[in-house]
Amino acid sequence: MADFVPNEEILELAITREEIANRLFLELAVRARNPEIRKVFEELADEELEHKAKLELEIMKTGKVKTATQKPAFEEQVDKGEPATWVDMDYKDMLLMGIEKEDAAFRFYVALAAKATDEDSYETLLALAEQEVKHKLRFEMEYDNLMKTR
């Protein structure tokens, strides 16, 4: 049982990841020139906040409250790129980054679900994994459409 992690810590880490994903999509929305694409990134940013709310609800079910100052007790390399390094990113690169990030998010939630010790947390984490796969597919479809027009 050396790698036992309490559910609250798992959920707090997932909340942190959702906050980072929200900021990523908002940054991509600002950089998107096409208003329709900007809207897609804004919608994804909103969905990440919905995921965060689901995770916070799971923490509340344990009788605890997630506060802004709480940090996960264990760390994970969530994101390596800084928005400031994306200056030359075109739409194709944004889509590829989205595909990569959503794939990583899917794997992240599957791994966390495997560590969950209660059914509700397990199901919530798997549901979030499913949502991240849908986001990835959305990016992949848009990428495929972009490549067909070039």
CATH number at residue 28: 1.20.1260.10
Q: Looking at the domain assignment, is residue 95 inside a domain?
A: yes
**What values do phi and psi take at 66, rounded to 5?**
-80, 125
Q: Looking at the domain assignment, is residue 27 inside a domain?
A: yes
Q: Looking at the domain assignment, is residue 38 inside a domain?
A: yes
CB distance 67 to 23 below 8 Å: no
| Domains of the chain: total | 1
Q: Looking at the domain assignment, is residue 51 inside a domain?
A: yes
52-104 residue pLDDT tens: 999 999 888 877 765 554 444 333 333 444 454 555 678 888 889 889 999 99
**pLDDT for res 22:** 93
Q: Looking at the domain assignment, is residue 106 inside a domain?
A: yes
**pLDDT for res 78:** 38
pLDDT exceeds cutoff 90 at 5 = no
Q: Looking at the domain assignment, is residue 74 inside a domain?
A: no
Region of poorest pLDDT, from 14-28, 54-68, 133-147: 54-68
Q: Looking at the domain assignment, is residue 145 inside a domain?
A: yes
pLDDT exceeds cutoff 90 at 130 = yes
Enter the tokens of residue 24: 């990523």
Q: Looking at the domain assignment, is residue 11 inside a domain?
A: yes
**pLDDT for res 76:** 39
Nearest to 132 by CA among 103, 112, 111: 103
pTM of the complete model: 0.76
User: Can you say how many angstroms the Cα of residue 136 is from the centroid of all Cα atoms in its chain?
Assistant: 11
Q: Which domain holds residue 95?
A: 7-65+91-149
